[in-house]
Structure 1
Amino acid sequence: MHLITRIIQLLSLTLFSCVTQADDNLDWHTQSNYTQIISTHVHLDLSVDFKQKQLSGYIEHTLKRLAPDVTELKLDTRDLTILKVEHFDNQQWHKGEFALAKETDFRGSQLVIKLKPQTTKIRVYYHSTPEASGLQWLSPAQTAGKKHPFMFSQSQAIHARSWMPIQDTPAMRVSYSATIRTDKHLRPVMSADNNPQWHDDGIYQFTMPQPIPPYLIAIAAGNIHHKTMSKQTAIYSEPEYLDVAAKEFEDTQAMIDATEKLYGEYRWNQYDLLILPPSFPFGGMENPRLSFITPTVIAGDKSLVNLIAHELAHSWSGNLVTNATWRDLWLNEGFTSYVENRIMESVFGKKRAMMERTLDSQGLRQEVEELDESDTILHIAMQGRDPDDAFSGIPYTKGHLFLWFLEQRFGREKFDLFLKAYFDNHAFQSIDTRGFIAYLDKHLISQYPGKVTIEEVKTWIFKPGLPTFTPLAQSDTFTKVQQHMDSWLSNRAALSDIPTKQWTVHEWLYFINNLPEEISKEQLALLDKTYQLTLSTNNEIAHAWLLLSLQKKYYVVNQRLENYLISIGRRKLIVPLYEALISDEKTRPFAVSIYQKARAGYHPLAQSTIDALFTEYE
């Protein structure tokens, strides 16, 4: 083991249970006893079985007692088959006693393991099931290469428990290692130190020395190849995506360098990207050292690389400093969205960063009108609810705007120094909302009195909607787009007069999203004929146009719509389209026919979301 790795491990042992969290705000979504005993390190020894669609083997927990009289280790599981348990004491492994409770709700089944006073480690032998919500198993036909199967995990928010028995809470942190066995023609990768060399025996070793919350433990396996982009970055993907992804995301190193200048050292050594098959339900997942990325952002012109900036930003906000519970999600996503925008400004300029902030703000204001008022609170009430319900534009963009508000009030220089110190002082720790407010008050508000009041902060965090003092994001570029749109709609100019040849994806999105409510089908047809919007290969532009077309009943897009919904599984892009189809009785049968073809290729998270839509509109 390298000396520096060992030093990191020793230092991090003191951090596993460090959480800035109020006693009355513990994580409701775990059934583990993480306040009494925790894992400081886990080792996974798993085989990847594509025929059975399961991971099988064992997980080994190295234990640290926080309460000296604790007699049980309680772990989270869901849809796991537990085979046996062993405990380690007196330098030997012994058969252990365990009980698996019945599943009562979406939290799964609590696994209770008896401990002896001298027990230092526990092994749980188990296998996952094909129903695991945190895994997707793809047939060769569902991959880019069409020759080999593919598997990947998605553990956020509480899906890690569906493929390993663990204390599935972001309030605790754990280092991990793994031995993964798979077909010799396939390669596994993890959110750890990935070796780009193929192993002929199909056995791979992984180490993640830094302590991370369990939802960031990630795995994938398939015909995965490697291409270096820079000293610190690389692409992992099927061969079909390798070169185009490396070209699209070649600025990743520049993003790392820019963020280090703003907020301090990148503490994870390598930052690689795994390009997943298009069924991946999210834009990206910030798994440390290896972010999982949807191929839908490979646009050919770097127009959607803000997603890479977002996942990279999590290396500071989320991975380094983590929300202690899922009602504190805004501490991950709001901070990350703010840092993302600062990265984009540093690398691509203020004009682009402001366009992206303006689009996000506009989308947020629409979402605030559509959501239940209680769901527009940053510190959202989550007890009794699936934590996946917390994911909306609220923690992302409202959180971003709150930090932008602080930046404007205190000035960028002071706020940057505060944010850098915040990341440093809470590195490898978890924090809840109350802990953040106390830190903000002590280190910023009280340091510069008269700039921001605690009442204003609490309005942002605990009140619904957007405060009246929310800063307004405005783009001069969009003002010009609006002027061109108004001239066309008022017959003062033709479409051919609008200088669209140099437009960015952001200008197109603003144009489509801001067309008036009363626009006619004839006008839509003219737009389509002039700009070929139905045939757009940019997935964001296509989504905006297809959604508008459905809302205006411009059904000539139906074939493109079907192809679009069958070819990708990113929830952000497909769920609004399905909702528009399902909510209209005339197009619901069309939605059924598409879904019958597409469902098998969607991730379980996407399936459950769309299944619920059909149930809602029955």
Structure 2
Amino acid sequence: MKSTLFTLLCFIAFLTSCSPSEKQEQNIAEKRRLNDGDIHSYANLDEIHTKHLHLELDVNFDNNTIYGVARHQMVNEKGVDTAVFDVKNIVIQKVTTGQGKEKETDYVIGQDDPIIGAPLMVAIDSTVEFINIYYSTTDKTEALDWLTPELTEGKKYPFMYSQGQTVLTRTWIPIQDSPSNRITYSADVKVPKEFLAVMSATNPTSKNETGEYHFEMKQPIPAYLIAIAVGNLEYRSLGKNCGVYSEPELIDTCAYEFADLQKMINAAEKLYGDYRWEQYDVVVLPYSFPFGGMENPRLTFANPTLITGDRSLVSVIAHELAHSWSGNLVTNASWEDFWLNEGFTVYFENRIMEELYGKEVADILAVIEFQELERTLKKIDQQDTKLKLNLTDRSPDEGMTDIAYIKGAYFLRTLEQVAGRKKFDKFLKKYFSDHAFKTLSTEEFVTYLDHHLLQPNKIDFNTDEWIYEPGIPENCIHITSGRLEKVEKLAEDVANGKNSSKFKKYKRDDLTTQEWMAFIRKLPADIDVKTLKMIDDQLGFKNCGNSEIMCEWYLLAIERGYTLVRPNMEKFLLKTGRLKYLEPIYEELNNSRYQSDKELAKKIIEKAKGNYHPIARISIEEILKS
């Protein structure tokens, strides 16, 4: 006899004859009733949850499909007879229960929501421990990017990787996809023998003849951190417990760029305690990867735009390493608490950079970040400038802005200034230790902060204003950089035609990436095209190979109608899939006062969309709709 709950869920799933608005209301009601704790997951975690997941994966490059079995070991705390999983754009072939002698069981897939997919509702005996879901991915699976050989460095073999954050793991694994549920996992993966498979787990360092690889992640992690990459990869050790994977054509360059990786780990441990994940490796993916880095435990995914030849963008790796404490070790309980992951990580990243390269460099990075925060504050709705967000009926990706990252970091920097670094470091070290391998809500953090830092030290701090109010509080710490002020003065002089002989002595290698970014940002909006060409002729910003500098230069060029950059900008947009660059450039083109810029944006996206990860492609198509 099926449970009352399962029967009710079947009935809800059957209701497909109502109007679209009624369907949406029913779907939302179903979602909220099933899971009161996380509005972006259907899983009934308060009743039954996955403890360990074992994956059996066959990666097929002939039809760009993963055929899999997800074997969930469950903890059924309340003896319920329905388990609910999250699924989106995958095919469920069958569901069984038991281990060894499996028995097929009934299941129902509920109504689909365009953001969070659908609930997979499985009927179980209240004593069942193992639920096995047989499935395959589809061409609509948003987490996976299947690249043709032409989009790789070697141009010979295809490549595949996943990107699960925020709620895309459910598009390649049927899973209870909430950050509040931490699980261990293992996997047996079959790939063509020409390829190496790596995951956010224990990893091989070389290929074998069978193409079969086994993985173990013994520390509990949230579902969004389960990750896989498959390609023609080579490994290079960079220290006692760290190294880098990349295509063979890039391995020497990557090893040089990330040579300080072991020093970063040592600096992080010195600050906030032992690294708890044993090994720390980086895999450099093809250019279509939509982010600078992704903190998958034991194996950071990185974009090759970080490779500049001068190690000037290694702060991104420091950021992903810092996530080994903030985000991976201590995780936001829901996506509305996302700032707990990223604000702490930006703060920690800056402390690692200060430890290794000095306060002057760290301050430069912090000032550049604040400039980016100021840009964001001008563009987004005031309600979205709060650290704690309301994402009801919204994609959790809408919370992935500079507010979570940079306002969050400046909140912590301001706390450090008020409490003193020694007391603040002691507090953070205890915070990471007390909440290791746990999830935390904003409200739980506020209570912890009050009990362990503010009250014991009799500190009066405007915590609620920082977290629950829009904008930046007046007591925000102000960080300055003499070096940036110097280059900003240089920019003003160049724009005004002053000190031209002094400027002509500059070469691009004379200043760091961040200093040239500050220089470009300080050039006035009404600067004439002739001056822009003079700067470009001297410094070659439009094709310098440094993505940060090129992005800033293209944005200014679009604004001023400096069309000579167009061929280089188009080449850049066709090559890179990193959203940090794509979104502002396409926005500037789309909002340009020149019709030719709008037409160029549409022309480029038609050429480039096959090169972009689905996350990036969807984002850019939304921008160009407006």
- TM-score normalized by structure 1? 0.93
Superposition deviation, residue 25 in structure 1: 7.2
Contact 2:64 2:146 survives alignment (8 Å): yes
Q: What is residue 451 of structure 2 aligned with on the other side? A: 442
Q: What is residue 39 of structure 2 aligned with on the other side? A: 28
C-alpha distance 536-47 of structure 1, shift in aligned 2 (>3 A): same
Which of structures 1 and 2 has the larger relative contact order (alpha carbons within 8 angstroms, sep 6+)?
A: 1
Q: What is residue 586 of structure 2 aligned with on the other side? A: 578
Pair 1:483-2:492 in alignment? no
Q: What is residue 308 of structure 2 aligned with on the other side? A: 299
Instruction: Map Cα deviations across residues 145-181 of structure 1 (whole Å, 9 max, x no partner).
Output: 1111100000000000000000000001000000000
Contact 1:52 1:130 survives alignment (8 Å): no
Contact 1:409 1:452 survives alignment (8 Å): no
Pair 1:508-2:516 in alignment? yes
Superposition deviation, residue 105 in structure 1: 3.1
1:608 to 591, 595, 618: 618
Aligned partners of 2:596, 2:233: CA distance in 1, in Å?
Answer: 43
Secondary structure at the aligned position of 2:165 is classed as: coil
Superposition deviation, residue 487 in structure 1: 3.2
Q: What is residue 590 of structure 1 aligned with on the other side? A: 600
Secondary structure at the aligned position of 1:64 is classed as: strand
Superposition deviation, residue 235 in structure 1: 0.9
Contact 1:375 1:464 survives alignment (8 Å): yes
Q: Which amino acid is 2:558 matched to?
A: L
Instruction: Map Cα deviations across residues 289-323 of structure 1 (whole Å, 9 max, x no partner).
Output: 00000000100000000000000000000000000
Q: What is residue 13 of structure 1 aligned with on the other side? A: none
Contact 2:293 2:303 survives alignment (8 Å): yes
1:493 to 486, 499, 509: 499
Superposition deviation, residue 488 in structure 1: 3.3
Pair 1:327-2:327 in alignment? no
Secondary structure at the aligned position of 1:152 is classed as: strand
C-alpha distance 87-24 of structure 1, shift in aligned 2 (>3 A): closer
Q: What is residue 16 of structure 1 aligned with on the other side? A: none
Q: What is residue 61 of structure 1 aligned with on the other side? A: 72
Alignment length, in residue pairs?
589
Contact 1:488 1:495 survives alignment (8 Å): no
Superposition deviation, residue 581 in structure 1: 1.4
Q: Which amino acid is 2:43 matched to?
A: S
Q: Which moved more, 1:561-570 or 1:515-524?
A: 515-524
Q: Which moved more, 1:457-466 or 1:497-506?
A: 497-506
1:561 to 569, 591, 594: 569
Pair 1:430-2:439 in alignment? yes
Contact 2:35 2:42 survives alignment (8 Å): no
Q: What is residue 7 of structure 1 aligned with on the other side? A: none
Secondary structure at the aligned position of 1:210 is classed as: strand
Q: What is residue 10 of structure 1 aligned with on the other side? A: none
1:182-581 alignment runs, 5 A limit: 182-449=191-458, 451-453=459-461, 456-494=462-500, 496-497=502-503, 500-501=506-507, 502-581=510-589
Aligned partners of 1:77, 1:107: CA distance in 2, in Å?
Answer: 8
1:76 to 60, 64, 86: 86
Q: Which amino acid is 2:541 matched to?
A: L
2:124 to 82, 97, 115: 115
Aligned partners of 1:321, 1:569: CA distance in 2, in Å?
Answer: 29
Identify unmatched segments of 5+ residues in structure 1.
1-22
1:2-41 alignment runs, 5 A limit: 26-41=37-52
Superposition deviation, residue 530 in structure 1: 2.2
C-alpha distance 323-538 of structure 1, shift in aligned 2 (>3 A): same
Q: Which amino acid is 1:31 matched to?
A: Y
Aligned partners of 1:370, 1:334: CA distance in 2, in Å?
Answer: 20
Secondary structure at the aligned position of 2:98 is classed as: strand
Aligned partners of 2:184, 2:468: CA distance in 1, in Å?
Answer: 34
Aligned partners of 2:113, 2:268: CA distance in 1, in Å?
Answer: 44
Superposition deviation, residue 102 in structure 1: 2.8
Q: What is residue 51 of structure 1 aligned with on the other side? A: 62
Aligned partners of 2:171, 2:501: CA distance in 1, in Å?
Answer: 53
Superposition deviation, residue 355 in structure 1: 0.2
Aligned partners of 1:135, 1:537: CA distance in 2, in Å?
Answer: 27
- TM-score normalized by structure 2? 0.92
Identify unmatched segments of 5+ residues in structure 2.
1-33
Contact 1:495 1:530 survives alignment (8 Å): no
Identical columns (%): 40
